[in-house]
Amino acid sequence: MTSLREKTLFVGNFIRRRCVIDSRGTVVKNTNSFLSQKVDLGLLNKLQANFQNRRPYFQFLSASILSSCVLYFIQKKRYTSANIDAYFWNDLGLRLGNALNLRAECAQGPGMRARFNFIADIVEQAQPAVVFLEVVKGNERYGPKQRASGSGFIVRSDGLILTNAHVVAGASRVQVCLNDGEKVQGVVQAVDQVCDLATVKVQRSNLPTLPLGKSSEVRPGEWVVALGSPFNLQKTVTAGIVSNPGRETMGNLTKSPPMIQHDAIINVGNSGGPLINLSLSLDDGEAIGINTMTLTSGISFALPADLAVDFLNRAKRVEGKFPKPAPKRHYVGLGVMSLTPDLQMNLKKMAPNFPTNVEQGIVIGSVYVGSPAHQAGLVPTDVITHINGKVVTSTSDYFKAIETGEKITLQIARSTGVFKVSIVPEDVD
């Protein structure tokens, strides 16, 4: 069967042979034969039917015909009609022939779809390292078991998986579903609830991995892709851009690092999954963050990869057991951020539960299940306006209050009203 490339090359050469003139302007090939065979209409109509999805090509073809016609009418008054007609048909024929030959050469290379679907290329490269985690928490002796799910990704080929601490902390059983569908038992090795990072190990070898990039080099506006299993929907892909690579301050302690804010949509179950860069360089397909939480649609946050690298190094040195710091760190179970005018305006538009009558405070972005904050009934989009009776203006006020480890009283603004709760921070290792 004749290929598309061979057909178009034949047509291009056919047109050029019918439209060649010598240096004196004499028509060597009869242009009437070109017209009599209706190549200009019938054949081009067939080509248009074959290439109906190649609009850039037909734009080039149309421009070629138009430029020949313009040149023809400009030069019509300067030369004899016979020579001009000959030159016109020659020029038009050469342009049509070149356009068809160009299309034929392009047909053997990658198409527009293959060239510009860069997100699909990155997903194809990174997806094999992403896993789905099914977690069972609790003990039947002390109450009913809780089932949860999350995401993670393989960072070492011997089966070491990186995820969020709030996904696997307190788990009595972790089942890991690999990309090929195989389900294996995982063992939680290292957990740092302050950084909200953990590792899970499976007994497998030669697994595909996803490298960690340098989050310190991330710039606002960079394309990113979030991979994970929201609502147990495995292998879900969403894309967006980095809104702010150093959003301060999200976390539980005073030294919690800035997080990567992005607008790729994530939901329950995306936690622990990778946020992958899309820069057109040799660093394509690196995890620059670990998706952790979302405030509302379009406002999502990921832990920076640099923090994960430090965590993995510490976990390796102490074989999964972290030394107790001095002094102790205290845990409330909140992810918070300062309420700026821009954030306040966005939340009023996008979060229906956000209180409209507050002008200052800190916004609760996430509440970890089982934490003191969760037991106190706090929920995302609540705003902390006062701590121990003092006005709160930034996250530093919150961190200073929990440093002592003593009971704190929070005044909370919610869409339904204002109330107070008392919380005793937990000591964590």
Q: How far is CA 78 from CA 39, 72, 75, 82, 139, in A?
A: 29, 10, 5, 12, 97
Q: Is the peptide bond before 254 cis (omega within 30 degrees of 0)?
A: no
Which member of 64, 91, 149, 166 is catalytic? 166
| Amino acid letter, 139 | N
Q: How many CA atoms lie within 13 A of 206 on its CB side?
A: 0
- Known catalytic residue at 166: yes
DSSP for 210-253? --B--GGG--TT-EEEEEE-GGG-TTEEEEEEEEEEEE---SSS
Which member of 64, 68, 151, 196 is catalytic? 196
Query: Are 331 and 346 spatial neighbours (Cβ–Cβ below 8 Å)?
Result: no
Which member of 243, 271, 338, 371 is catalytic? 271
- Known catalytic residue at 40: no
10 Å CB burial of residue 356 (0-12, 13-18, 19+) is: exposed
**Two tokens at 112?**
């527009």
Query: Are 215 and 291 spatial neighbours (Cβ–Cβ below 8 Å)?
Result: no
Question: What is the CB neighbour count within 10 angstroms for residue 145?
Answer: 12
Residue carrying the six token digits 């995306």: 270
**Two tokens at 146?**
């809780």
* Nearest of 128, 174, 129, 130 to residue 149 by alpha carbon: 174
**Two tokens at 196?**
């909200």
User: What are the E-state strand segments in 122-195?
Assistant: 130-137, 146-156, 160-163, 171-177, 183-192
Residues catalogued as catalytic: 166, 196, 271
